[in-house]
Every structure is written in structure tokens, then in C-alpha cells.
Structure 1
Amino acid sequence: MFLEADVLGRSLIFGLIPALGTSVGGLIGVLTPHSRESYMDFGLSFAAGLMLVASFTSLLIPSIELSNIYTALAGLVAGVVMILIIDKLTPHEHLEDRFEGPAKYRGRVKTLYLMVFALLIHNIPEGMAVGAGSALEFEKGLALSVAIAIQDVPEGFAVAYPLMGLTRSRFKALSLAVLSGFSETLASVLTGLVIEISQGLIPFILALAAGAMIYVVSDEVIPETHKYGHEDVATLGFVTGFVTMLFLDSLA
């Protein structure tokens, strides 16, 4: 089968799987009339736990095995710096109304667009991770893609539900949630394209994606799960996601 040999083809197919997960979560979000904040905290924490384990077991460890610790560390640091720069230079607003980016854009760009920018920043590392994983063994790449799709379901919900309140439109909220998912597909394909051009970059890109995901987990996801005071629920969700990813990784 061509997918077993074609990295770019796998990056596309694998990249569509998380987009589907985000879309399912978005659909649940727009169809839910009322929700408890603790549900969102659990879902996002679940995603954080899963992403953190995936960063190590599916990205960093393979990077070290394919090259050495120095290449992996260089990629890790580069990934953190890359998202840090994007985070600081791109005006965006988190779901809890926390503005970040150049101050000159505050109040001059619609809140909806600021939130969309935040979603794109959040999804870039996940798409990169899927694209980088497509260069690994077929089973491992598929397992990583499915794992990210699973954690994208609560993320899709967490995107669509507040956006529905902001836009007062189920169609707009769902459309933005779906588009945020397909941004992962685009990031996956672009990453796969880079790997196709130079196979020697695989270890570095694996670690780069890991660093980017770790930054997003620490800076974006975990703070959002503690904003309503449901720390116990958030911790339980984190551990559940952590264990789930370990289990999925053991099956690959």
C-alpha cells in the first residue's frame, strides 16, 4: 500500500484524522445547550496529559533513537522558541479573555478573530507532530494521529461552545471549529513535505514538534484548565489523558 512508503501521503491522511476529531467535538459543542465548566476543564486537561506523553514517547524518544541527544535537544529548544516567537508576535485572545501579542492590536481587532488566531497557534504543534510522526513506522504514526484526534474531541468542544456564545450562530461556531481542525491537516502536510525534501531532518523535526507541543501545553492548555477553580477535576483529566496515551503508544 502506498501509504506505507509515502511520507507525504501519510501526512495528509493522518492529518485528516485529528481534523475529524475536532469536527466531532465542535458538533457536540454547538449542540450542547448548557455545560458545566468542570466538563471543559476535564476535557482540556485530558488533552494536555495526552499531548505531554506523546511529546516524549512518540517524538523525543524516536528523535534520540534516530540521531542523538544533542540533535533532540536542539530540536526541542527550537520548537519552544518558534512557538514563543509566534505567540508573542501574533495578536490573539484566549478563551478566558487573556490578550497576548503586540499591545497596539488590542481593541483594534475583533475578539472573534483574536480567538481564531489563538486556535491556530494552538493547532500548529499538533499538526507538526502528526506530520513528523508520518515519517515513523506506519503503526506508530497512525497511533499518534489517532491519539491526537481523541484529544481533539474535547478541544473541539472547548472551541465551539464559547464561540457559539460569542457569535450567536451555531454555523459560525462549528465552521471555525472545523477550520481550526483542518489547520492541523495543513501543518501536517507542510511538515511531511519538508521531510520528503530532506529525510535527514526527521530527528530534528520530531524534536521540534515535541518542543512546540510542550510549550503549548504549559502556556496555553494547563492555565485554561485551572481558571474556574476545578483543580481536582483538571488533575484527574490530566492523569486520564496521560495513561490513555501510554496505553495507545504500547499498542503501536
Structure 2
Amino acid sequence: MSAAQDLFVSIAGTDPVVQGLVGGIVIATLNLIGAVLVFVWRDPSQRSMDVTLGAAAGIMLAASFTSLILPGIEAGGVLPVIVGLVLGVVVLDQADAWVPHIHVLITGQIREDRDSTAAVAEGVDESRVAAVLLFIVAITLHNMPEGLAVGVGFGSGNLDDAISLMVAIGIQNVPEGLAVSVAAINAGFHRTFYAVLTGIRAGLVEIPLAVFGAWAVTVAQPLLPYAMGFAAGGMLFVISDEIIPETHSNGNERLATLGIMAGLIVMLYLDVALEA
């Protein structure tokens, strides 16, 4: 057992469902950490956001293959993984049909904090509130395959791959949490209010889905390759349909691409290092 496994088992024990719960808490917490970065990184530039979100996409891309698709093929063959992958893409595609694409500008001058919580509703740009709320719903839907993926990873019983996947999704949750918070703050929401809301939103979606994913593949082992393919399909859809177009639409295509490559390299290295 690797050092990473020893540490995780000492915290979460050996029950896959409890491990899924802990994994969900970890990735939701990192989402919250990303959200509260707005307190110290008060006005991130568009270039910075494109690079960091590109790196997040690279991390997710590597993790989709090393921690979901390839282990899924080993567990049940290529056909179940492909079926699950297609289903994941279809579900996320339909989710986007229910919640149309809303890309809220995440740069510009971040408004100064109001002095009291009563000011949450003061100074809000009403013309952008609906767009921000829709954006929150869309991001929440896109968090769903991430939480499910972590749970499925722990339910599979392969701790190395599960921990790598948890780390990957947790790392990419940091810039995602920051981006969503900046978008809402630029619409006039109170900095503290939205940072807390982001953490709650992530936890409400990712934690129960992580538990469900671990439980489902534990009680129905034949579902494992399908579930792994489904989670990978959902994450790949988000990368291709949302993150890459968003980071390549502001004149920073080369830097965003380099960010993707850097994220992919970092994840491949972590995947090997965590098994040591």
C-alpha cells in the first residue's frame, strides 16, 4: 500500500461508501477554497483565468483516461465503458439543453465589498443577475459527473486510481470555484455571501453524488465499467463543450492551450507519484 493510500485509509477507513463521502468532502472543500480566493486575489485578469481554467481542463482530461476510462476497460472491457461514456455525453448534452449556455464575464473591476450583509442586495446589476444565476445552475450540473466520478472511483476498490481522481478533481475545483465567484461578484453580489454560497452549492451536489457513486458500484459491481464510462463522458463533455471554448474566446488561446498541457503533465506526474 502506497503512502497516499495509508494516509487516506487512516482518515476514511476501508468502507468504500465512507471513502466516497470523504472524497466528496475533499473536492467540495477545494471548491470552497477556490471561491474564497477572491478575498486575496481580488481582481484576476482574463489571461490569468484562462490559463488556470485551461490547466483545470488538462487535469480533468488526464484523469478521465488514467482514473476512469482505462481502469473501466480493465474491469469490464471496452464496450461497457463506451456505452457509459455515450450515456454521460447524452445526459450532459440534455442538461445543457435544459440550461442554455450562459458565459458570464469573469473579469473587469470587481466591486468593492459592502459593509454589511444587508448590502448583498444593494448595488446588484439586475440585468446580469438572471445570467449569473443561470450560470450557477449550469456549473452545478457540471459538478455532478465530478462528484459521481469520485464515488465510483472509491467504489471500484482501486484506491490508487480513486485518490488520483480525487486529487485531480479537487485541484481543478479551485480555479472553477474562483471563476464562478468572480462572475457573481462582478454582477454586484457581496464577496463573503457568494464565497460561502459557492462552497455550499458544491457540497450539496458533489458530496451526495460521491456517496451514491460509491454505494452503487459496491452493491452492483457489474455497473462499475458503465459508471466509469459515464463519469468520464460527462467530464470530457464539460471540457470540450464549456471550458476549452470559454478559455479560447478571449484572445488568450495560446496561453490557455499551454495551461491545458501543463495541467495534463501535472496530473500524469501526480498519478505516478501517488502510486509510489
Q: Which residue does the alignment assign to 2:247?
A: 225
Does structure 1 residue 82 correspond to structure 2 residue 98?
A: no
Q: Which residue does the alignment assign to 1:72?
A: 81
Deviations 1:168-221 (A, max 9, x none): 301222023212321222221222232233122111101110011000100011
Match of 1:50 among 54, 59, 65: 59
SS for the counterpart of 1:80 is helix
* AA in 2 matched with 1:125: P
CA distance in 1: counterparts of 2:190 and 2:144, whole angstroms: 26
Match of 2:133 among 113, 116, 119: 113
Does structure 1 residue 143 correspond to structure 2 residue 152?
A: no
- Alpha-carbon shift at residue 90 of structure 1 (Å): 3.0
- Alpha-carbon shift at residue 94 of structure 1 (Å): 2.7
Match of 2:43 among 16, 19, 34: 34
Structure 1 residue ranges (4+ consecutive) displaced by more than 6 angstroms after TM superposition: none
- Alpha-carbon shift at residue 5 of structure 1 (Å): 3.4
Map 1:135-214 onto structure 2 (within 5 A).
Answer: 135-136=155-156, 137-182=158-203, 183-214=205-236
Higher Rg: 2
SS for the counterpart of 1:116 is helix
Deviations 1:4-51 (A, max 9, x none): 532211110011111111111111124433221111001100010111
The answer on whether the counterparts of 2:27 and 2:169 sit within 8 Å (CA) in structure 1 is yes
Deviations 1:70-102 (A, max 9, x none): 1111111111111111111235623249xxxxx
Gaps of 5+ in 2: 1-8, 107-126
The answer on whether the counterparts of 1:47 and 1:238 sit within 8 Å (CA) in structure 2 is yes
Q: Which residue does the alignment assign to 1:62?
A: 71
CA distance in 1: counterparts of 2:104 and 2:207, whole angstroms: 23
When the two chains are superposed, the root-mean-square deviation of aligned CA atoms in Å is 2.0
> Scaled by the length of structure 1, what TM-score is found?
0.89
Percent identity (aligned): 36
Does structure 1 residue 216 correspond to structure 2 residue 238?
A: yes
CA distance in 2: counterparts of 1:42 and 1:231, whole angstroms: 9
The answer on whether the counterparts of 1:125 and 1:212 sit within 8 Å (CA) in structure 2 is yes
Q: Which residue does the alignment assign to 1:241?
A: 263
Q: Once structures 1 and 2 are overlaid, which stretch shifts more, 2-11 or 55-64?
A: 2-11
- Alpha-carbon shift at residue 141 of structure 1 (Å): 1.1
Gaps of 5+ in 1: 98-106
> Scaled by the length of structure 2, what TM-score is found?
0.82
* AA in 2 matched with 1:222: I
Q: Which residue does the alignment assign to 1:25?
A: 34
CA distance in 1: counterparts of 2:38 and 2:47, whole angstroms: 14
SS for the counterpart of 2:251 is coil
Q: Once structures 1 and 2 are overlaid, which stretch shifts more, 55-64 or 29-38?
A: 29-38
Q: Which residue does the alignment assign to 1:128?
A: 148
CA distance in 1: counterparts of 2:206 and 2:37, whole angstroms: 19
